[in-house]
Amino acid sequence: MQQGQDRVFAGIRCTGRQHIGNYLGAIQNFVALQDKYECVYSIVDLHSLTTLTDTEELQDNVRETALDLLASGIRPEETILYAQSHVPEISELHLLLSMVTPIGRLMNVPTFKEKAKAQPENVNYGLVGYPVLQTADIVLYRANKVPVGEDQLPHLELAREIVRRFNNIFGDTFPEPEAELTSAPMVLGFDNRKMSKSYGNSLDMAATPEETFQAIRTAITDPQRVRRNDPGRPEVCNVYTLHGFFGPENQPKINSACRSAEIGCVDCKKMLSESVNDYFGPIRARREELSANPEAVDEILIDGARRARVIASEVLADVKDAVGLPASLPEMANVNA
């Protein structure tokens, strides 16, 4: 491992194609971390089962997510990229960690309360245990750095508590994972709410140029700019903010041309679409190449899972030993002899 014993772990939800907010907020950072650390990235399909009952598209979504990550520059020869359900050790560790997790603590996690409200007909056991599974994800590789956005801090805090409790009871087994807060911008969608697939206000990284313009066209701009001749206020306009991410060099001229009503919002959106298309052009081309060979992508995930399991099975053996459970099947065979 590089830089002492540092290991990065991140879980990525497999909601299908990733949107440009996911890219700016997370994926870009996952790619950059590879230069400094050993990285393990898991596409968390088991976590999806806490909110999904229709799982028909789940494995396709895992592949779509893998494509976006690989096209963005995740290097599978160095980095371990895999699907969570391919590493069964996670379930055993999840169970063992559940024994040191106070239920009251789980019931107070903000994401649990939100989800319980959003799906009152399906407040399942797995949903309550979501942060325990997330903790198991991380410590199954004894990862100590976890790149997350602010919304994940309560989960990370709980992960640290679970680790401390486990270490206290059973002896020092895991490092306490630390959040690597990404200085990622909060990217707003085209309706000015947080960009999210579930709000239908997002743009997929992998969109075509035409889809890109059609999505950006719907974006809310300055609400006071009703007519083409009205002067605009870039400081309240999300389209202007998005220019800052994808074509910052255009911002000064757009700023003045918007204020003087020299350009209209449609012009401005066309320019943004071009910048976004230029920005994602090489990534989209790589994605196209990769998706022409789905078996190769599956093989990358399987190879990732293999390498993940080498670490995971060692850690799990240590954990079972710490808890006082027999470590492996051969020893159990002796018990029955």
Which residues are marked as active site?
A: 115, 194, 197
| Closer by beta carbon to ligand TRP, 155 or else 243 | 155
Nearer to ligand TRP, 147 or 264 (CB): 147
Distance CA 253, CA 257 (A): 6
Question: Which single residue brings its beta carbon nearest to ligand TRP?
Answer: 11
Q: How far is the CB of 322 from ligand TRP (least distance, A)?
A: 22
As measured in angstroms, the least distance from the Cβ of 90 to ligand TRP is 10
End-to-end CA separation in angstroms for the chain: 42
The H or E element spanning position 180 is strand 178-181
> Smallest distance, Å, CB 226 to ligand TRP?
39
The token pair that represents 145 in the structure block: 């750095």
Nearer to ligand TRP, 128 or 272 (CB): 128
Between 176 and 321, name the residue whose CB sits nearer to ligand TRP.
176
- Residue 175 burial (10 A CB sphere; 0-12, 13-18, 19+): middle
Closest C-alpha among 176, 142, 127, 185 to residue 156: 176
Residue type, 102: P
DSSP string, 5-41: T-EEEEEE---SSPBHHHIIIIIHHHHHHTTTSEEEE
The helix or strand, by DSSP H or E, that contains position 133, with its residue range, turns out to be: helix 130-139
For the CB of residue 263, give the shortest distance to ligand TRP in the complex, in Å.
37
User: Which residues here bind ligand TRP, judged by CB under 6 A?
Assistant: 9-11, 13, 44, 47, 134, 137-138, 146, 148, 152, 155
